[in-house]
């Protein structure tokens, strides 16, 4: 019995080593995670893969070239594969892999596919039964979640919201009752309007913003949607890439909806009106007392 097991195990290990050889000589695609700010945040395996790849497809050849140079990797052939040519690039990648090449794919920052190109490439590879693997690494959503102070699990990663207010509010409405920490990516110039829409649709929940992660001016702000919105409104120009995180839905947060709605209206009015006029404006819209609204404005400004 033991003899048979040993014979089987020798047979299996022979089979495995043949498989390992096949895996080494067959072509394959490797998705490579790159830094989200700090150039040192790249794994040894990622660098090794980039160094030894026959061909590197990337979102922006200049960006990837810069990264390679920083790590002393020279003489590599880079080919662009971005949102506008992804289907075409996917066919090229598949042809290279089928010809036995080791191909790497990197987006500009973080994980390919995660609010970045790569989905079509992956689909084409999977449909063709080609070999694909991924080297993990930096990711803005999860780094922000770790630092946010909000419940880490469950979380719901929504990526970028639509850029126009109506579509953004419609998208937020669909997420309103998810009992999970919500994670969004946002461009700095849209931060304040997006926080305003979140306050309006989701109510005044605990929230956090994470800017410039892994960089010298990394900044995490923790508060509520109202305080973060008021803060963003005060700033003339917000710099740096940003992640917004919002606490999970709970039935208790819903009870504050009326107050949140009023705060959202006041903050919206304050964008163009003085505190006095904003109180008048919202009093006219909601039938609430102007004096109480003015007091609330003073609190929000604090």
Contacts with ligand SAM, residue ranges (CB under 6 A): 36-37, 107, 109-111, 114-116, 139-141, 185-187, 210-215, 241-243
- CA dihedral of 2, 6, 9, 14, whole degrees rounded to 10: -160
Helix (H) or strand (E) holding 175: helix 165-175
Nearer to ligand SAM, 42 or 242 (CB): 242
d(CA 59, CA 36): 14
From 224, 223, 152, 220, select the one nearest 183 (Cα to Cα): 152
Find the length of the chain.
302
Chain centroid to Cα 6, Å, comes to: 49
> Smallest distance, Å, CB 90 to ligand SAM?
18
For 286-295, the CB contacts below 8 A with 24+ separation are: 286/262, 288/262, 293/262, 293/266
> Smallest distance, Å, CB 98 to ligand SAM?
27
> Smallest distance, Å, CB 175 to ligand SAM?
17
Nearer to ligand SAM, 85 or 255 (CB): 85
Backbone angles phi, psi at 105, to 5 degrees: -130, 130
> Smallest distance, Å, CB 113 to ligand SAM?
8
Contact 243, 214 (CB under 8 A): no
> Smallest distance, Å, CB 192 to ligand SAM?
15
Nearer to ligand SAM, 116 or 260 (CB): 116
> Smallest distance, Å, CB 158 to ligand SAM?
11
Nearer to ligand SAM, 212 or 231 (CB): 212
Nearer to ligand SAM, 90 or 243 (CB): 243
Structure tokens at 84: 């506008």
d(CA 19, CA 17): 5
Nearer to ligand SAM, 115 or 288 (CB): 115
| Residue nearest to ligand SAM as judged by C-beta position | 110
């Amino acid at each position: 019995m033991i003899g048979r097991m040993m014979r089987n195990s020798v047979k299996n290990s022979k089979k495995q080593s043949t498989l390992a050889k096949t895996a080494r000589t067959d072509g394959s695609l490797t998705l490579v995670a790159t830094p989200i700010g700090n150039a040192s945040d790249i794994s040894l395996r990622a660098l090794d893969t980039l160094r030894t790849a026959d061909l590197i497809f990337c979102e922006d050849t200049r960006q990837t070239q810069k990264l390679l140079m920083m790590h002393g990797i020279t003489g590599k052939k880079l080919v662009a594969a971005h949102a506008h040519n992804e289907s075409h690039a996917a066919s090229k990648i598949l042809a290279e892999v089928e010809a036995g090449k080791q191909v790497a794919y990197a987006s500009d920052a973080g994980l390919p596919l995660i609010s970045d190109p790569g989905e079509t490439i992956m689909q084409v590879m999977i449909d063709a039964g080609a070999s694909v693997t991924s080297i993990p690494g930096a990711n803005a959503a999860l780094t922000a979640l770790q630092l946010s102070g909000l419940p880490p699990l469950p979380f719901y990663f929504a990526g970028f919201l639509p850029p126009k207010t109506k579509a953004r509010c419609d998208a937020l409405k669909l997420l309103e009752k998810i009992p999970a920490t919500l994670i969004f990516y946002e461009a700095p110039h849209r931060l304040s309007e997006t926080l305003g829409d979140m306050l309006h649709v989701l109510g005044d929940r605990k929230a956090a913003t994470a800017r410039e992660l892994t960089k010298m001016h990394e900044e995490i702000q923790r508060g509520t949607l109202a305080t973060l919105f008021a803060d963003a409104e005060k700033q003339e120009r917000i710099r740096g890439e940003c992640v917004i995180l919002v606490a999970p839905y709970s039935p208790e947060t819903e009870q504050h909806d009326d107050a949140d709605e009023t705060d959202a209206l006041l903050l919206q009015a304050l964008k163009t009106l003085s505190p006095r006029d904003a109180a008048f404006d919202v009093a006219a819209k909601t039938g609430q007392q102007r004096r109480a609204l003015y007091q609330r404005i003073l609190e929000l400004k604090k």
